[in-house]
Amino acid sequence: MILLDNVVKYYPGDKEPALDHVSLSIKPKEFVFLVGKSGAGKSTLIKMLTREEKPTSGKIMVGGIDYDYLKKRHIPHLRRRLGVVFQDYKLLPNRTVHENVAFALEIVGVSNSEIKRTVPKVLELVGLADKGHKFPAELSGGERQRVAIARSMARQPKILIADEPTGNLDPETSWGIVRLLEEINNFGTTILITTHDEQIVNQLRKRVITIRNGKMIGDQKNDGHYDLDAIRTRIVKRPLATAKHTAPTADEIRRATNSRPITAQGAVRPTPRRRVI
């Protein structure tokens, strides 16, 4: 569950808020598009959830964690529970595909034997089973984004957040990424994607939240379409459709990755950190 209650965000020195009393809730297993023009506040909203930025006022809860009570030392743990994917992939250039995914597990203390088992399975999930030995520079944009998705899914997050994941990709490749995210959603992972891609939003007809100038101006719970002037809520004729749940979330992903759940207490023991690059 993602919950924002009257969230306001002013960046230092700004007269206008980047987020202006935004309230929304997203249930487990939903697939949600967050749309809005450049500068509308989409990335700021994402940064509220990843705690990259703090709200000026308002309440945020994610997966039962109340951010008012979130201590600094809990933040890495929170980020483990949220998978995050960016427009520019943010891969480690001097590491292979396999190592990029492995690193995400290493830093949260997953054992080497488990990493060896998990990485190939996650790469298979994203259709890159045969690319583990390649470096990011040797991959296409779509493949790089698949690595980023594999990396974020390796830790079996309940929620996957993607900030313009198709922003650098051509339409066909974008569709491949969106279909992959749909598949991950079908396993039970909540998906929140920010996008500019009108065609994808209109074809998928998922829930669509629209923001303009930091204000949430639309929340089409069902059959949503890309409309930057959307009125607040369209009439919902059907019950809230989340996804075709073919399997329960954690189990399915766990089976796909053959790894242990990460508990609130952090059941996995940390291994010594390695230097990046």
Ligand X SMILES: Nc1ncnc2c1ncn2[C@@H]1O[C@H](COP(=O)(O)OP(=O)(O)O)[C@@H](O)[C@H]1O
Of Mg ion, ligand X, none, which one sits near residue 39, judging by CB under 5 to 8 A according to partner kind? Answer: ligand X
Is residue 202 within 8 Å of 230, Cβ to Cβ? no
Across 48-67, b (16+ Cβ under 10 Å) vs e yields bbebebebeebebbbbebeb
> Which one, 100 or 195, has the nearer CB to Mg ion?
195
* Least Å from the CB of residue 88 to Mg ion: 11
> Which one, 54 or 133, has the nearer CB to ligand X?
54
Phi/psi of residue 271, nearest 5 degrees: -100, 160
Taking Cα atoms as reference points, which of 207, 209, 277, 218 lies closest to residue 243? 207
Of Mg ion, ligand X, none, which one sits near residue 35, judging by CB under 5 to 8 A according to partner kind? Answer: none
CA–CA dist 153, 145 (Å, integer): 12
* Least Å from the CB of residue 124 to ligand X: 32
Of ligand X, Mg ion, none, which one sits near residue 144, judging by CB under 5 to 8 A according to partner kind? Answer: none
How far does the chain reach from its first CA to its final CA, in angstroms?
Answer: 35
# binding residues, ligand X (CB under 6 A)? 11
For residue 118, what are its two tokens? 């998990």
Across 206-237, b (16+ Cβ under 10 Å) vs e yields bbbbbbbebbbbbbbbbebbbbeebeeebeee
* Least Å from the CB of residue 42 to Mg ion: 5
Contact track, Mg ion, 15-54, x by CB under 5 A: ---------------------------xx-----------
| Contact window for ligand X (CB under 6 A) among 10-18, 130-138, 176-184, 198-206 | 10-18
> Which one, 74 or 215, has the nearer CB to Mg ion?
215
Phi/psi of residue 9, nearest 5 degrees: -135, 120
Of Mg ion, ligand X, none, which one sits near residue 101, judging by CB under 5 to 8 A according to partner kind? Answer: none
* Least Å from the CB of residue 11 to ligand X: 3
Task: Write the CA distances from 55 to 49, 131, 225, integer angstroms.
Answer: 10, 40, 28
Contact track, ligand X, 18-57, x by CB under 6 A: x-----------------x-xxxxxxx-------------
